[in-house]
Amino acid sequence: MARGGQGEPTDWVTRAADDAIRHAAGADRVITCSSGASPSGPVHLGNLREFLTPHFVAEELHRRGVPARHLHVWDDFDRFRKVPAGVDPSWADHIGRPLSAVPDPWDCHASWAEHFKAPLRDALHAMGVDMEEVSQTERYGAGVYREQVLLAVRHRDDIDAVLAKYRTKKREPASEQEAEELTESVVEDEDVDSEAGAGLERFPFKPYCRQCGRDTTHITSFDDETTDLAYTCTSDGFAGVTNLATQDEGKLVWKVDWPMRWAFEQVDFEPAGMDHATPGSSFTVGHELVETVFGMPRPAWFGYAFVGFAGVQKMSSSTGGVPTAADALRVLEAPILRWLYVRRQPKQAFNIDFGPEVVRLYDEWDALGRKAADPSKRDAAVLAFERASETASAGRLPTPRVVVPFRTLSSVADVTAGSAALISQVIGHVGHAHESVDDLEPRLDKAMAWTAEFVPESDRTIVRTSPDKDRLASLSAQESKWLSLLLGNLPAELDVEPVTSLVYGVPKLARGQDLDDAPTDEVKADQKEFFRLLYNLLVGKDRGPRLPTLIVALGVDRVRSLLGSAA
Ligand SMILES: [Zn+2]
């Protein structure tokens, strides 16, 4: 479907797609929207913006019928930098080796890099993100970049001149890759002090040691004629020679690698985290290098802001407590997770809240879905809903056939603490007719997971296992009358409408009125007191989920037993 016509809503995605088309300048080729990430650890929700931003832009191009791809580059040929907490300290031996050459400490994947790629790949697939993946290990190892490496080496003085312009003081790294580039620039700065004019130390290519596989190499000579590069390794003393035209034993340094890849892949759009968008960052430097050395206009881009999280006190410890996309998908339907990212300007920071906010988020999403069903109400918010709901390759992402408010599902899951089948049965009795559990999925699963894992213990509803004998023995005359009126009128089959009318109506009956009489002020005061009594007797608290839902969920036998059927 074409976008951007007269009166069509527009958003940041529309504008970024326009920029990408402008960058391609009418060239007859597929437009490339790119992301890149180093698979050095779990990809948390903050990093997800890196993947989703080019995804949405590529999707917009697909909608317009413009040939486009989302290219994702895995920087798995980057060095392993440090051993994280929880990993055997002996892994320190691998520091300096490519992430793809470090074994998987958990023994489930071929390498460290693959261990962290796999779960993210699964989560992105579930979110309808279809990317063309590139491994820098494979690219470099297969000699794909040889010409680009030689080009960079021939232009090493030009590259150094650009780097020198931006060389900055030490500062705190804001990300993995910035830490990487600071490591590089610190090496550069130290060498400037110790070894004036030693151009080889700022060589744009770094070999991995042939003997130990680490990048702890120092270049001792380079022959422009033969392209032989000689190095020694500080880890094991190995002295070797690698030929840049015929062998593939290293990589361009990060600040040169990035612009090389933009040019090689003809990247038209690639955003970057705000931390990359500062003067002297690899991004700024790369933008200059891609034009001066690699001869391609810098990609269209913008910096995107931080995404944080809240309400995750019980998050699984496998990721160090930092939620990943897979964690978020346990609680949020895929379109809702997508919506969180697409509905905001990329420069806007936000938190994903796994606490009570989840309930409001679902309500907001359902309301937007109702609005989106009305063509006369199409605006930027509806456009965001559409972008979140379907993709070119996956079509419409899974949503429940019967939409039940998340608060109702989680409330019933909370009260019953039971199986999906039991919850489905209760949901049918509280006014949401459906044929099978499947009609409620995937939302029911997420409501059950959220209730079990994200609702604090203090907010959970714990239904009493036996009647509160003390409280039942000390009922006032009025309280006894309310309870016998309730139990005396409780039908054998509980449905939400009659139960609602009865629960609200008991105080009316007690004052000699009819069930459907309008409540007087006295009745309203009685209702408050009666409801608290019911909560006390059923769940041992002064409040809880909506009483009709609670009563239907508990079923007539448990209600009678806890309210003292003998009364
Ligand atoms: Zn070595």
CA of 213 from ligand 1 middle (Å) equals 6
Q: How far apart are CA 204 and CA 157, in angstroms?
A: 10
Output 3 or 341, whichever has higher pLDDT: 341
Cβ-contact 255, 181 below 8 angstroms: yes
Residue 555 has pLDDT above 50, yes or no: yes
CA of 545 from ligand 1 middle (Å) equals 64
Residue 185 has pLDDT above 50, yes or no: no
Residue 227 has pLDDT above 90, yes or no: yes
Q: How far apart are CA 171 and CA 169, in angstroms?
A: 6
CA of 198 from ligand 1 middle (Å) equals 22
**What pLDDT score does 312 carry?**
66
CA of 96 from ligand 1 middle (Å) equals 10
Mean pLDDT highest for which of 59-68, 426-435, 487-496? 59-68
| Amino acid in the structure at residue 507 | P
Say whether 68 sits in a helix, a strand or coil: strand
CA of 236 from ligand 1 middle (Å) equals 5
Output 199 or 370, whichever has higher pLDDT: 370
Residue 190 has pLDDT above 50, yes or no: no
Tokens 């009865």 found at:
502
CA of 22 from ligand 1 middle (Å) equals 47
What's this model's pTM, rounded to 2 decimal places? 0.88
CB atoms within 10 A of CB 301: 23
pLDDT in tens, 506-554: 999 999 999 889 999 999 999 999 999 999 999 999 988 899 999 999 9
Q: How far apart are CA 67 and CA 225, in angstroms?
A: 42
Q: Which residues of 47-62 are buried (b: 16+ CB within 10 A; e: fewer)?
A: bbbbbbbbbbbbbbbb
CA of 406 from ligand 1 middle (Å) equals 57
CA 450 to mean position of chain CA atoms: 16
Tokens 């509905």 found at:
343
Question: Residue 445: what are its φ and ψ, rounded to 5°?
Answer: -55, -40
| Mean pLDDT computed over 484-510 | 93
CA of 211 from ligand 1 middle (Å) equals 5
CA of 115 from ligand 1 middle (Å) equals 25
**Of 200, 176, 179, residue with least CA distance to 188:** 200
CA of 43 from ligand 1 middle (Å) equals 30
CA of 249 from ligand 1 middle (Å) equals 12
CA of 197 from ligand 1 middle (Å) equals 25
CA of 177 from ligand 1 middle (Å) equals 23
CA of 232 from ligand 1 middle (Å) equals 8
CA of 289 from ligand 1 middle (Å) equals 30
Q: Which residues of 161-197 are buried (b: 16+ CB within 10 A; e: fewer)?
A: ebbeeeeeeeeeebbebbebbbebbeebeebeeeeee
**What pLDDT score does 166 carry?**
81
CA of 231 from ligand 1 middle (Å) equals 10
CA of 239 from ligand 1 middle (Å) equals 8
Strand 68-74 with 31-37, pairing: parallel
Tokens 């931003």 found at:
53
Residue partners of 181: CB distance under 8 A and separation at least 6: 254, 255, 281, 282
CA of 183 from ligand 1 middle (Å) equals 19
**Of 160, 165, 211, 167, residue with least CA distance to 185:** 167
Strands (E), 56-163: 68-74, 132-135
CA of 151 from ligand 1 middle (Å) equals 26
CA of 208 from ligand 1 middle (Å) equals 8
Q: How far apart are CA 529 and CA 542, in angstroms?
A: 10
pLDDT in tens, 276-306: 777 778 888 999 999 999 999 999 998 898 8
**What pLDDT score does 456 carry?**
85
CA of 101 from ligand 1 middle (Å) equals 14
What's the whole-number average pLDDT of the chain?
Answer: 90
CA of 76 from ligand 1 middle (Å) equals 19
| % pLDDT > 70, the chain | 91
Output 433 or 198, whichever has higher pLDDT: 433
CA of 241 from ligand 1 middle (Å) equals 12
HEC string of 216-251 equals: CEEEEEECCCCCEEEEEECCCCCEEEEECCCCCCEE
**What pLDDT score does 308 carry?**
83
Residue partners of 535: CB distance under 8 A and separation at least 6: 541, 542, 543, 544, 547
The DSSP bridge partners found for residue 98 are: 79
**What pLDDT score does 188 carry?**
41
**What pLDDT score does 278 carry?**
77
CA of 526 from ligand 1 middle (Å) equals 82
205, containing H or E segment: strand 205-207
Say whether 82 sits in a helix, a strand or coil: coil
CA of 108 from ligand 1 middle (Å) equals 27
CA of 530 from ligand 1 middle (Å) equals 78
304, containing H or E segment: strand 303-304
Q: How far apart are CA 385 and CA 395, in angstroms?
A: 14
Token representation of residue 504: 């609200």
HEC string of 252-277 equals: ECHHHHHHHHHHHHCEEECCEEHHHC
Residue 198 has pLDDT above 70, yes or no: no
Q: How many helices (H) and strands (E) does the chain have?
A: 21, 15
| Mean pLDDT computed over 57-86 | 96
CA of 97 from ligand 1 middle (Å) equals 10
CA of 233 from ligand 1 middle (Å) equals 5
| Mean pLDDT computed over 159-180 | 68
Cβ-contact 562, 467 below 8 angstroms: yes
CA of 226 from ligand 1 middle (Å) equals 23
**What pLDDT score does 202 carry?**
86
| 186-190, 316-320, 416-420, range with the lowest pLDDT | 186-190
Q: Following CA atoms 530, 532, 536, 537 in sequence, which dihedral angle do they give, to the nearest 10 degrees?
A: 20
| Amino acid in the structure at residue 45 | L
CA of 190 from ligand 1 middle (Å) equals 22
The DSSP bridge partners found for residue 31 are: 68
Q: How far apart are CA 209 and CA 220, in angstroms?
A: 13
Cβ-contact 384, 374 below 8 angstroms: no
Tokens 């988020």 found at:
361
| Mean pLDDT computed over 42-50 | 88
**What pLDDT score does 178 carry?**
55
Residue 187 has pLDDT above 50, yes or no: no
**Of 75, 63, 74, residue with least CA distance to 31:** 63
Tokens 């897979």 found at:
326
CA of 285 from ligand 1 middle (Å) equals 30
CA of 378 from ligand 1 middle (Å) equals 62
pLDDT in tens, 301-352: 988 988 888 776 555 444 556 788 999 999 999 999 999 999 999 999 998 8
CA of 99 from ligand 1 middle (Å) equals 16
Cβ-contact 463, 415 below 8 angstroms: yes
- DSSP letter at 332 equals S
| Mean pLDDT computed over 390-394 | 92
CA of 482 from ligand 1 middle (Å) equals 83
**What pLDDT score does 222 carry?**
96
| Mean pLDDT computed over 457-486 | 93
